Structure 1
Amino acid sequence: MTHVKRFQGIPMSKSMRGLCKEEDYAFLGMSEKTTKETARVAGALGDDWRDQKEERVRRRLEREQQEKERLQEIEEGKKEKEQQWRTHVAELTSSQEKTLQDRLARLRRFREFQRKVLVEESGMEDRAASITVNQLLTRM
């Protein structure tokens, strides 16, 4: 009968109570003991969970920092390549301008040479001869 008093607070029908015996409720008595142990284990698990959460947060912050560093390195690499490209283009443009200036100077010297040869061949050294020579050179 002690089990009836002890477990009277458990909602159950009268017919069910009659069928149940103290052995059936033995696990409830053990649960008081295990509750204390469970609380202790839960506290330990809570500490473990808290530690794991802190570790996850730390790893996440670490990953974010590494990602920022990686993006910064990529950005610096892009800037460096862009600067190298600009330097290359400037050098290329400079060399092309120099080449064009050299060609222009050679063409002018050649035209002067042609003019001189035509004037000598025509035998005229006055202004009319120079106009005729210029017209001939223009046609060429």
Structure 2
Amino acid sequence: MGESMRGLCKEEDYAFLGISERTEGAGVSEENQREDKEERITWRQQREQKEKERLREIEESRKEKEQQWRTHVANLTSSQEKTLQDRLARLRRFREFQRKVLAEESGMEAGAAVLTANQLLTRM
């Protein structure tokens, strides 16, 4: 019986120690859980911050590209307008030259020559 009593005492001791270990361990475990939760919250906040930063950079990049495109289109349009104005000026000078040559070749008066030249140039 002495051995069985020792076994019972051991079981009771282990049971007692197990309960006390659990309560002590629970305090440590709760602290670890709290630290883990805080770390997860910190990581989540960092992730959210990085995502916001990434989205902001994407938006800035989009706006910059849009502005570059607008500038490009404006420059292109301006260049085309200048080219057209230059062509119009050259064409007008050439028409004046044609009128002058036709007037000289026909040997008419200035007013009649201009009318005849305009009629001939219109037919061309």
- Which residue among 66, 71, 74 is the counterpart of 1:90? 74
What is the alpha-carbon distance in structure 1 between the residues aligned to residue 33 and residue 110 of structure 2? 108
Q: How many residues align?
A: 120
Q: Aligned in 2, Cα 1:27/1:136: closer, same or farther, shift over 3 Å?
A: farther
Gaps of 5+ in 1: 1-20
Gaps of 5+ in 2: none
1:48-87 equivalences in 2 (<5 Å): 48-87=32-71
> Runs in 1 of length 4+ with deviation above 4 angstroms?
21-24, 26-29
1:98-113 equivalences in 2 (<5 Å): 98-113=82-97
In the superposition, the TM-score normalised over structure 2's length comes to: 0.86
What is the alpha-carbon distance in structure 1 between the residues aligned to residue 11 and residue 122 of structure 2? 119
What is the aligned-residue RMSD (CA, Å)? 2.0
Larger relative CO (CA 8 A, sep 6+): 1 or 2? 1
Worse-superposed segment, 93-102 or 130-139: 130-139
1:1-140 equivalences in 2 (<5 Å): 27=11, 30-140=14-124
How many Å apart are 1:127 and its aligned residue?
Answer: 3.0
In the superposition, the TM-score normalised over structure 1's length comes to: 0.77
Say which structure is richer in helix. 2
What is the alpha-carbon distance in structure 2 between the residues aligned to residue 72 and residue 126 of structure 1? 72
